[in-house]
C-alpha cells in the first residue's frame, strides 16, 4: 500500500507505456519488504529538462531513462559514472542533494551477457544504431576486445558515435562507422551482430534492418518482445541475448544503485515473465 512515506521511482521514455520495468521493480520492492513504488512516466523529448527537475522536486529517489532520452539525460546530470561519461549516455539516475547522478547499467549488463555467450577478443561486431543503447552496446563489445563497426540511418550519427568510442578506447580495439546499406555485408563477416535501433519497439515507427543474424553468430537484441530480429536469430539457430535478458540484468544493477540492496533477480525474472506485453 502506498503511504505518505513511500519512496518513489520511475522510468521516463517516449513512448513508455510498453515498459516492463514497473512490474520488475515493484516485484523486487515487495519481495524485500521495501516501502517503494515504481511507475512509468511518459515524457516528450522537449520536456525532459523540466521533467527531471520536477521529479527531483517531488522527491523521487531514482529514475530510469529509456528511448529517446539516454544521451540528453546524461547532459543534464550533475555527475556521471565512468561508463556514462565515456558513452555519453545514461539509463539510471540516482537522487543527489542537487540534481541527479547518472549511471549506465546497460553497458555492463551487455558486457556480462555477451561474454557469457562467447564474445571475446579478436572477434568482429556490427552494431545497428547510434543512440544511447548502441553506445552502451558498442562500449560493452569494445571492453571485451572486439572490433566494432556502427551503422545508422543517419551517417553523421554513426560517425559521431564511433569518434566518441575511439576517444574512450584510444589503445583499441578498432571502432568505425559504415554506411547503413553496407551493414549487411559487414555483418556477414562478423561474429556478433547487435541490434540497438528502435525497430521492433512498441509504439515506434516500423522499419527494416539492413542485416539479419546468420548461423554461428551471436545476436544481441536491445528491444524486448517478439521482434523480427529475435525471430530471425531463432530461425537461424544462432545464440541470442534477448532484450528481456538485458532488461533484467541492467534492472538488477539499477535496483542496487537505487536501494543499496542486492537485487532479487529470480523474483524480477518471474515478474518479467508474467507481465502483459503491449500489443
Answer yes or no: is pLDDT of 22 > 70.
Answer: yes
What is the reported pLDDT for 213? 97
List domains and CATH numbers for the chain: 7-104+247-274 (3.40.50.10860), 107-244 (3.40.50.720)
Answer yes or no: is pLDDT of 80 > 80.
Answer: yes
pLDDT, tens digit, 9 for 90 and up, residues 133-159: 999 999 999 999 999 999 999 999 999
Known catalytic residues are: 70
Beta bridge partners of 177: 150
What is the reported pLDDT for 201? 81
**Residues comprising the binding site for shikimate?**
19-21, 66, 91, 106, 224, 250
Answer yes or no: is pLDDT of 212 > 80.
Answer: yes
Beta bridge partners of 149: 126, 176
HSE, CB side, 13 Å, CA atoms: give it for residue 85.
6
**With the CA atoms of 195, 132, 264 and 266 taken in that order, what torsion angle do they form, in degrees rounded to the nearest 10?**
-10
- Quote the percentage of the chain above a pLDDT of 90: 92
Residues 6+ away with beta carbon under 8 Å from 267 = 27, 28, 31
**With the CA atoms of 130, 136, 141 and 142 taken in that order, what torsion angle do they form, in degrees rounded to the nearest 10?**
80
pLDDT higher at 125 or 2: 125
Residues 6+ away with beta carbon under 8 Å from 226 = none
Cell of 112: 556480462
Question: Could you identify the residue written with the cell 543534464?
Answer: 76
pLDDT, tens digit, 9 for 90 and up, residues 32-75: 999 999 999 999 999 999 999 999 999 999 999 999 999 999 99
Task: pLDDT band for 277, please (50, 70, 90 cuts).
Answer: confident
CB atoms within 10 A of CB 231: 15
Strand 100-103 and strand 92-95: pairing? antiparallel
Task: pLDDT band for 200, please (50, 70, 90 cuts).
Answer: confident
Answer yes or no: is pLDDT of 204 > 70.
Answer: no
Cell of 221: 537484441
Beta bridge partners of 103: 92
Name the burial class of residue 14, with classes exposed (0-12), middle (13-18) and buried (19+) by CB atoms within 10 angstroms of its CB: middle
**What is the DSSP code (8-state) at residue 183?**
H
DSSP alpha helix (H) spans, the chain: 21-31, 48-57, 70-76, 82-87, 106-116, 132-143, 155-168, 183-188, 228-236, 243-259, 265-274
pLDDT, tens digit, 9 for 90 and up, residues 170-191: 999 999 999 999 999 999 999 9
- Tell me the angle at which helices 106-116 and 243-259 cross, rounded to the nearest 10 degrees: 130
CB atoms within 10 A of CB 25: 29
> Are 126 and 188 spatial neighbours (Cβ–Cβ below 8 Å)?
no
User: Per DSSP, which regions of 145-212 are E strands?
Assistant: 147-151, 175-177, 192-195
What is the reported pLDDT for 239? 97
Q: Supply the mean pLDDT for the chain.
A: 96
**Residues comprising the binding site for NADP(+)?**
82, 129-133, 222, 243
**What is the DSSP code (8-state) at residue 121?**
T
Amino acid at each position: 500500500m502506498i503511504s505518505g512515506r513511500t519512496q518513489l521511482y520511475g522510468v521516463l521514455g517516449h513512448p513508455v507505456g510498453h515498459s516492463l520495468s514497473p512490474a520488475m521493480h515493484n516485484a523486487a520492492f515487495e519481495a524485500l519488504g521495501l516501502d517503494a513504488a515504481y511507475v512509468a512516466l511518459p515524457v516528450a523529448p522537449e520536456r525532459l529538462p523540466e521533467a527531471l527537475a520536477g521529479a527531483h522536486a517531488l522527491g523521487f529517489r531514482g529514475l530510469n531513462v529509456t528511448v529517446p532520452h539516454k544521451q540528453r539525460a546524461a547532459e543534464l546530470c550533475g555527475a556521471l559514472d565512468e561508463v556514462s561519461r565515456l558513452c555519453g549516455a545514461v539509463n539510471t539516475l540516482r537522487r543527489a542533494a542537487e540534481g541527479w547522478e547518472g549511471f549506465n547499467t546497460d553497458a555492463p549488463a551487455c558486457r556480462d551477457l555477451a561474454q557469457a555467450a562467447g564474445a571475446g577478443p579478436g572477434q568482429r561486431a556490427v552494431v545497428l544504431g547510434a543512440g544511447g543503447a548502441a553506445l552502451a552496446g558498442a562500449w560493452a563489445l569494445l571492453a571485451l576486445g572486439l572490433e566494432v563497426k556502427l551503422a545508422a540511418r543517419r551517417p553523421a550519427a554513426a560517425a559521431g558515435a564511433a569518434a566518441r568510442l575511439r576517444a574512450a578506447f584510444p589503445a583499441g580495439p578498432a571502432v568505425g562507422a559504415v554506411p547503413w546499406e553496407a551493414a549487411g555485408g559487414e555483418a556477414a563477416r562478423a561474429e556478433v551482430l547487435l541490434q540497438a535501433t528502435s525497430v521492433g519497439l512498441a509504439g515506434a515507427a516500423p522499419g527494416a534492418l539492413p542485416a539479419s543474424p546468420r548461423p554461428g553468430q551471436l545476436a544481441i537484441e536491445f528491444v524486448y518482445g517478439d521482434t523480427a530480429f529475435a525471430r530471425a536469430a531463432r530461425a537461424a539457430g544462432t545464440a541470442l541475448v534477448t532484450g528481456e535478458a538485458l532488461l533484467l540484468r541492467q534492472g538488477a544493477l539499477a535496483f542496487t544503485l537505487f536501494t543499496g540492496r542486492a537485487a532479487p533477480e529470480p523474483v524480477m525474472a518471474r515478474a518479467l515473465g508474467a507481465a502483459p506485453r503491449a500489443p
